[in-house]
Amino acid sequence: MFNLAEILTLLIGCLLALVFIDGVRRAIRIRRSKLKVDLIDTSSNEISDFEQEWQAFDEHEECTESSLDQEEDEELDIKPNTILNIIHLHDTSGSVFSESSLSQALVFYNFTFEEKGFFTILDSDNAPAFSIINGKNPGLFSESVTSNDIALVLDPKNLSNPLEAFELFVEVSQSLQETFQCNILDEDRNFLTKQMIEHMKHQFHEHQRQFLASAS
């Protein structure tokens, strides 16, 4: 049998061990939190204003092959502060997206390939619904350019049929995802779920309601 001194010694030892283990766990948790903060701070320095990138399509009529070759490996940072709706498609196995492969994949849809180097999907009235751009800088395609990342961009302003445009936007993104067996991502490049699509649809309708209310 243990005497009182031995029992007290064992209890104190157990308490010290628990304090030590708790300290180690706290240190690990703090270190993980610090790593997350560091990662966020690093990525935030690389975020650019996509609205400026998007407007640049209207400002530049042509892009030389040399500039395409130099910048095609840099991903466009598409994280707008506007009401643009954006879906990314990313393939991890290789550069499967090109003007030719996308044209074949979109054969059942009404679209045009603009001279500036991106696709415009048209609705049933032949009005522009949304665009498909190269996810690599400078965001354009040509005959010799391939990419492993594309972005579908829907600008809700001046749509002739907003509901049809959004439904077509989601339908085409899912069709391309099945055709190329690639990842479908949101504007922050997180995996896009059905719940997120429903949330995006709700936001789209809310923006349209506010726009119509302000216009009236």
DSSP alpha helices (H): ranges in 45-119? 50-59, 65-71, 99-105
Q: Which CATH number fits domain 50-215: 3.10.20.600, 3.60.15.10, 2.40.10.10, 3.30.1400.10?
A: 3.30.1400.10
Across the range 176-203, mean pLDDT stands at 92
Higher pLDDT, 76 or 157: 157
The residue with tokens 């077509």 is 168
**3-state class of 84 per DSSP?**
coil
- How far out from the chain centre does Cα 82 lie? 14
Q: Which pair of tokens denotes residue 130?
A: 């949304």
- What pLDDT, in 10s, does the model give residues 150-185? 999 998 887 888 889 999 999 999 999 999 999 999
pTM of the model: 0.64
Mean pLDDT of the chain: 78
Question: Confidence band (pLDDT; 50, 70, 90) for 190?
Answer: very high
Across the range 32-59, mean pLDDT stands at 44
Whole-angstrom CA distances from 36 to 41, 42, 46, 208 are: 9, 10, 16, 36
Question: Confidence band (pLDDT; 50, 70, 90) for 15?
Answer: confident
Phi and psi at residue 9, to the nearest 5°: -65, -45
Across the range 43-59, mean pLDDT stands at 46
pLDDT at 97 exceeding the cut of 90: yes
Peptide bond into 138 cis (omega under 30): yes
pLDDT at 104 exceeding the cut of 60: yes
Q: 140 burial class (0-12, 13-18, 19+ CB within 10 angstroms)?
A: buried
